[in-house]
Amino acid sequence: MMNKPIFNVEEVNKIIRNRRSMFVAQFKENDPVDDSIISELLENANWAPTHKLTEPWRFIVFSGEGLKKFAEFQADLYKQRSEKSGNFSEATYTKLKENPLKASHVIAIGMRRDLKANLPEMEEIAAVAMAVQNMYLTASARGLAAYWGTGGCTFWPEAKEFFGLGEADQLMGFFFVAKPASDRWPQGKRSPISEKVTWIK
């Protein structure tokens, strides 16, 4: 047993309430985040709540030349899929091929099912989402620009193999990380919590 840790509640509240998403247009390009900080994000992700300790989160980190491999994979897969359906868009193809290169790191987010644990899939998805929130909070605390997106190849079944995922697993999107281009921090918008809570005493 360890001694009960002492937390700074004001700092915890500050980080949670000031976490923000910042997107590609707000990224500072060609100024990579140190890998040690990305490792810190991932280590904190690993401490998310997880029922039966299944730890379903799986991450693949793309940086440097790896960003090109990811970008080319999703752009080429989009082209294959859209040409079959007749819905190809050059603008979408270019966006899929260029946007990842504007980030310092892109982290693919996977949910690996442990079917032996006999848990509802929703619990495993929630665990991965909480792991991503830990990354979000850490990125904000570090003053980084970051966002979780579910565009590109997220929901294409044939993309799973590229990310080491099986049929029962899920690709849950991508976490983009970069240094921000500006010191200005986005302002938050939330309606009052009182509108979303019912107290029964």
Over 90: is that where the pLDDT of 144 sits? Answer: yes
Say if 101 falls within a structural domain: yes
Domain with residue 175: its CATH number is 3.40.109.10
Say if 42 falls within a structural domain: yes
Say if 194 falls within a structural domain: no
Predicted local confidence at residue 2, as pLDDT = 86
Over 90: is that where the pLDDT of 1 sits? Answer: no
pTM of the model as a whole? 0.96
Q: Which domain holds residue 57?
A: 21-182
* Count of domains for the chain: 1
Say if 2 falls within a structural domain: no
Say if 191 falls within a structural domain: no
In the 3-class helix/strand/coil scheme, how is 131-175 assigned residue by residue?
HHHHHHHHHHHCCCEEEEECCCCCCCHHHHHHHCCCCCCEEEEEE
Query: What percent of the chain has pLDDT above 70?
Result: 100
Predicted local confidence at residue 19, as pLDDT = 98
Say if 1 falls within a structural domain: no
Say if 195 falls within a structural domain: no
